[in-house]
A and B are shown apart, each in its own frame.
Chain A
Amino acid sequence: NAGVTQTPKFRVLKTGQSMTLLCAQDMNHEYMYWYRQDPGMGLRLIHYSVGEGTTAKGEVPDGYNVSRLKKQNFLLGLESAAPSQTSVYFCASSYSTGLGIGEQFFGPGTRLTVL
């Protein structure tokens, strides 16, 4: 099992450009998450999904869109990149325990720089 994979690993964009980050998991997990990590800020939730075809906003959703057309994939889109979106992006997936979710499995991350 590959677990959670993310593509690309690195990307440099110019202000105003668009891109899509892809997250894939092979564990049949219902829940998927996109986080951004900035120095000293921990992990902040951008968007999440509780199942195929559903998405919802997290703590910092502005400037991002997501889609989950297939259960195993969760896409994060930046329509018009801004320097403030320079960050490391992590995708994670998890499963229901009946009391909430179990452990989150994280992908290796995408390091994005917006010039």
Chain B
Amino acid sequence: GQQVMQIPQYQHVQEGEDFTTYCNSSTTLSNIQWYKQRPGGHPVFLIQLVKSGEVKKQKRLTFQFGEAKKNSSLHITATQTTDVGTYFCAGLRGSYIPTFGRGTSLIVHP
């Protein structure tokens, strides 16, 4: 079945450093979603990417969807302690069944 691999599993950064998490799918995706989950909380939607090569920005967050629609990345510039949490990607194959990556836990040291 479809797999969505996400790396790294954990990332420790000093406050102010940048952070990137990557997702790779074994099959072509129709779109990809990104979520953030704070410790003890539930996943919260960040963004959805649909087009090949798409790049979207939300303040310090930059999301990319690969040209082949098999990979995606989330980059955070100048991390803050409020960025702490686990970031998940969820790939969709043109339907309504999402496959989540295992997530990347971001730990920000002040």
Contacts and interface: CB of A to CB of B under 8 A. Distances in A.
Interface stretch (B13-21, B60-68, B70-78, B99-107): B99-107
Interface of B: 1, 6, 9, 30-31, 33, 35, 41-45, 48, 50, 88, 90, 92, 94-103
A59 B45 contact: no
Contacts of B96: 31, 48, 50, 94, 96, 100-101
A103 B45 contact: yes
Nearest to B96: A101
Interface in A72-108: 90, 92, 94, 96, 99-108
Main secondary structure of the interface of A (DSSP, over half): strand
B44 A106 contact: yes
Given A45-B97, A105-B45, A107-B42, 16 more contacts: A31-B96, A42-B102, A42-B103, A43-B100, A48-B96, A90-B43, A92-B43, A94-B96, A99-B30, A99-B50, A100-B94, A100-B95, A101-B98, A104-B43, A108-B41, A109-B42
